[in-house]
Amino acid sequence: MLILAFLVEITFMEMLMDYEDKPLVGVVMGSDSDLPIMQQALDTLADFGVSYEAIVASAHRSPDRASLYASSAQERGLKVIICGAGWAAHLAGTMAALTILPVIGVPLASSPLNGLDSLFSTVQMPSGVPVSTMSLNGARNAALAAIQMLALSDADLADKLSSYKSQMAEVVAERNNNLVAKLKKKNI
Ligand code: AIR
């Protein structure tokens, strides 16, 4: 049984080493059922041209895989880890305990408690082991936060973030114009 577990983890490490495009961001989710929300992080990283790898590892169901991933992450060239999990979400905290890389936590609202459990388990880290916690289901913001960290030493990425901010402000201005026009019409 122990040998089987060992072999599974060796295969897992081989799979990670096999990523062609050396990823900068690791996106870990507690279950594949988390993908619908975590996909927003993957899409955002792709939009910014940031290389990532995405895996399923559970702090409770596959603790060996989760710890192996975290403890080897820096050596493999990752710069930041994003962890999304629901229910008693200890994934981000477990990863943060095992690496010096920044860990961003995304509490997911997948439980009957609507995420209050995962929010508390992710955000309430004891002093000494930080997890940068996003809002519930905040997978897009997790990717943006990771991109901001990478942009500190990547001028192209910093430019992309500046354009992204300008575009966002333009959309707000457009929405304002639409609203004002709508209200004017109503008054006539
Ligand atoms: N989970 C899995 N292992 C530990 C935790 N906390 C979380 C997953 C998912 C939820 O449990 O992140 O949000 C339900 O997983 P599943 O596989 O039952 O759908």
Backbone angles phi, psi at 166, to 5 degrees: -65, -45
**Residue 1 — very low, low, confident or very high, per pLDDT cuts 50/70/90?**
low
Q: What DSSP state is assigned to residue 92?
A: H
Q: Are 109 and 164 part of one and the same domain? A: no
The residue to which tokens 């059922």 are assigned: 33
* Res 20: pLDDT: 59
Q: Are 67 and 142 part of one and the same domain? A: yes
* Res 15: pLDDT: 74
Q: For residue 147, what are the contacts with CB-CB under 8 A and spacing of at least 6?
A: 44, 45, 48, 50, 157, 160, 161
Q: Residue 180 sits in which domain range?
A: 155-188
CA-to-CA distance for 144 and 152, rounded, in angstroms?
Answer: 13
3-class secondary structure, 132:
strand
Q: Are 83 and 165 part of one and the same domain? A: no
Q: Is the CB of 31 under 6 A from ligand 1?
A: yes
Residue 142 CA to ligand 1 centre (angstroms): 19
* Res 188: pLDDT: 62
Instruction: Kindly report the protein residue whose alpha carbon is nearest to atom 15 of ligand 1.
Output: 31
pTM of the full structure: 0.92
Instruction: Kindly report the protein residue whose alpha carbon is nearest to atom 10 of ligand 1.
Output: 86
- Ligand 1, residues 32, 38, 87: which to mutate, most atoms within 8 A of Cβ? 87
Express each pLDDT in 84-126 by its tens digit: 999 999 999 999 999 999 999 999 999 999 999 999 999 999 9
* Res 26: pLDDT: 98
Q: Are 85 and 170 part of one and the same domain? A: no
* Res 7: pLDDT: 63
Q: Is the CB of 85 under 6 A from ligand 1?
A: yes
Q: Are 41 and 105 part of one and the same domain? A: yes
* Res 4: pLDDT: 59
Three-class HEC string of 32-88: HHHHHHHHHHHHHHHHCCCCEEEEECCCCCCHHHHHHHHHHHCCCCCCEEEEEECCC
Q: Are 167 and 113 part of one and the same domain? A: no
CA distances from 155 to 146, 162, 182 (A): 15, 11, 41
Instruction: Kindly report the protein residue whose alpha carbon is nearest to atom 7 of ligand 1.
Output: 86
**165-169 mean pLDDT:** 98
> CA torsion sign, 154 to 159 to 163 to 165?
positive
**CATH code of 19's domain:** 3.40.50.1970
Q: Are 7 and 52 part of one and the same domain? A: yes
Q: Are 73 and 50 part of one and the same domain? A: yes
Q: Are 66 and 51 part of one and the same domain? A: yes
Rounded to 5°, the CA angle 115-121-122 comes to 90
- Ligand 1, residues 56, 58, 64: which to mutate, most atoms within 8 A of Cβ? 58
Q: Are 166 and 141 part of one and the same domain? A: no
* Residue 75 CB coordination number (10 Å): 8
Structural domain count of the chain: 2
Residue 62 CA to ligand 1 centre (angstroms): 11
CA-to-CA distance for 77 and 146, rounded, in angstroms?
Answer: 15
Closest ligand 1 atom, CA of 90? 6
Express each pLDDT in 72-84 by its tens digit: 999 999 999 999 9
**Residue 12 — very low, low, confident or very high, per pLDDT cuts 50/70/90?**
confident
CA-to-CA distance for 87 and 166, rounded, in angstroms?
Answer: 37
Size of the chain, expressed as the number of residues it contains: 188
* Res 39: pLDDT: 98
Q: Are 88 and 179 part of one and the same domain? A: no
Q: Are 83 and 121 part of one and the same domain? A: yes
Q: Is the CB of 34 under 6 A from ligand 1?
A: yes
